[in-house]
């Protein structure tokens, strides 16, 4: 049986994204140490619990686990060695698998933005600077209040964690 090929369709939508910068008066290394000391690495076991439908583990993680975890970190500053010298710049993927599932159960495309991306870099004076895009500004595009509410929750949670590390 031969199946007729159907052409792909492409749609485009422009969205406004609010970009945030948190400047610390503290050195990059201190800000990084404080962030990584307060936001734990992702417990990969929680993903397995979600995949297997372990409601008890998920509930325990939601009630007692970290609000945010570091999924991944990339040393972007090391990439600049090719341009004459490395710099201090780290990109983080930060989020919570349960929070992500609260959005993607309603809007699967929200997975594009979960986990969130944050960059920490060193300015010319050696101070740590965080930059990221406000989560609600891109989660609101789906027109789903359940997803937008989670985005607003992430706005406050992420800002609090980053301010804590910067202070």
pLDDT one-digit tens code per residue, 89-100? 999 999 999 999
The residue-averaged pLDDT of 150-165 equals 98
Tokens representing residue 76 in the block? 């972007």
d(C-alpha 34, C-alpha 91), whole Å: 15
**Could you tell me which of 166, 143, 138, 164 has the C-alpha nearest to residue 68?**
164
> Apex CA 156: angle with CA 165 and CA 32, to 5°?
15
Which pLDDT score is estimated for 1? 67
pLDDT tens by residue, 66-106: 999 999 999 988 888 888 888 899 999 999 999 999 999 99
What six digits make up the tokens of 167?
Answer: 């202070």
Strand partners, 73: 92
> What are the pLDDT digits (tens) for 13-34?
999 999 999 999 999 999 999 9
More confidently predicted of 48 and 33: 33
CB 99 within 8 A of CB 150: yes
Q: In terms of pTM, does the model score above 0.85?
A: yes
């Amino acid at each position: 049986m031969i199946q007729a090929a159907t052409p792909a369709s492409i749609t485009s939508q422009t969205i406004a994204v609010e970009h945030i910068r948190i400047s610390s008066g503290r050195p990059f290394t201190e800000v990084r140490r404080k962030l990584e000391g307060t936001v734990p690495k992702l417990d990969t076991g929680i993903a397995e619990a979600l995949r297997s439908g372990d409601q008890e583990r998920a509930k325990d993680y939601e009630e007692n686990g970290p609000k945010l975890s570091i999924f991944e970190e990339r040393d972007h500053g090391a990439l600049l060695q090719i341009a004459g010298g490395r710099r201090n710049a780290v990109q983080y993927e930060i989020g919570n698998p349960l929070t992500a599932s609260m959005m993607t159960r309603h809007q699967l495309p929200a997975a594009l933005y979960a986990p969130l991306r944050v960059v920490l870099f060193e300015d010319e004076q050696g101070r740590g600077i965080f930059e990221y895009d406000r989560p609600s500004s891109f989660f609101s595009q789906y027109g789903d209040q359940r997803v937008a509410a989670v985005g607003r929750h992430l706005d406050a949670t992420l800002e609090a964690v980053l301010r804590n590390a910067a202070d």
